[in-house]
Amino acid sequence: MKRHRVKPGEKIDLAKIDAGSTQAFKGSKKKAEEQLLELTEKLERLQEALWAEHKHKVLIVLQGMDTSGKDGTISHVFEGVNPQGVQVASFKAPSPEELDHDFLWRVHPQVPGRGKIVIFNRSHYEDVLAVRVKRLAPPGVWRARYDQINDFERLLAETGTVILKFFLHIDKDEQKERLQARLNDPAKRWKFRKGDLDDRALWADYMAAYEEALARTSQKWAPWYIVPANKKWYRNLVVATLLVEALESLDIQIPEPEEDLANVVIE
């Protein structure tokens, strides 16, 4: 799965990366779903141990075009975890108060504390993506943010936060099918926004913005992974595998009881 990792400074051409690829898994879809179930069970145990140890922090960043599967990834990968140890934060258009501060002011309070996993469903990267594409700030402002983001994430990493960033990569044809499916299904139509079509019309601009952001901000302390996401089962498998591997590498230790329980008898 690490083949999807972006090396620091690597030149990215998303048009040359197959969004429908499943190359890191050689089995069938059914086998992948069985493996995902095993991974989610492992994740449940690891998350409980992370919470009990109360030492490490985990930040997961999910970015992608509309319909790329950010909500679906959260639903399928984290379905078994204890909700008291996992939090999802989403970042919409900033409020007037947030605009009165630096762009990271609203982000820092949402980062994980000890023992917690926090998932950013969209993130501070909108300030070098949507802000750039929609020309909400001049180039001199958003270009400076690459280094500011790197410094911010280095601070988090140096104070005990494991950072995993996933760009869920779908192609334009797949997005068309998913948007049409939303429009056709009364149960999913609430997800459809006309604004999605405005962003779709700017596809090439968004791809250019993502390519530069991925290249400029994938660091050893906060790597980006480009996850082929046309196949939802493969998307889920990649994210779950990398997350479980990252948690296992922490060698989490469940703490001993604070009291001597050797002679405790429950009658």
Whether 209 contacts 131, CB under 8 Å: no
The answer to the question of residue 195 being in a domain is yes
Dihedral sign of CA atoms 44, 49, 50, 54 in order: positive
The DSSP H or E segment spanning 260 is none
The answer to the question of residue 192 being in a domain is yes
* DSSP characters over 118-180: EEEES-GGGGGTHHHHTTSS-HHHHHHHHHHHHHHHHHHHHTTEEEEEEEEE--HHHHHHHHH
This prediction's pTM = 0.94
The answer to the question of residue 94 being in a domain is yes
Q: Any idea what the CATH number is for the domain that residue 114 is in?
A: 3.40.50.300
Residue range(s) defining the domain that contains residue 173: 2-248
**Which two structure tokens, joined as six digits, stand for 107?**
């982000």
Rg of the Cα trace of the chain? 20
The answer to the question of residue 254 being in a domain is no
The answer to the question of residue 100 being in a domain is yes
Cα-based angle 130, 136, 141 (whole degrees, multiple of 5): 95
Q: How far apart are CA 49 and CA 264, in angstroms?
A: 24
Classify 87 as helix, strand or coil.
strand
Number of domain units in the chain: 1
List the chain pLDDT tens, one digit each, 267 residues: 789 999 999 999 999 999 999 988 988 899 999 999 999 999 999 999 999 999 999 999 999 999 999 999 999 999 888 888 899 999 988 999 999 999 999 999 999 999 999 999 999 999 999 999 999 999 999 999 999 999 999 999 999 999 999 999 999 999 999 999 999 999 989 989 888 899 999 999 999 999 999 999 999 999 999 999 999 999 999 999 999 999 999 999 988 776 777 778 888
The answer to the question of residue 225 being in a domain is yes
The answer to the question of residue 259 being in a domain is no
The answer to the question of residue 208 being in a domain is yes
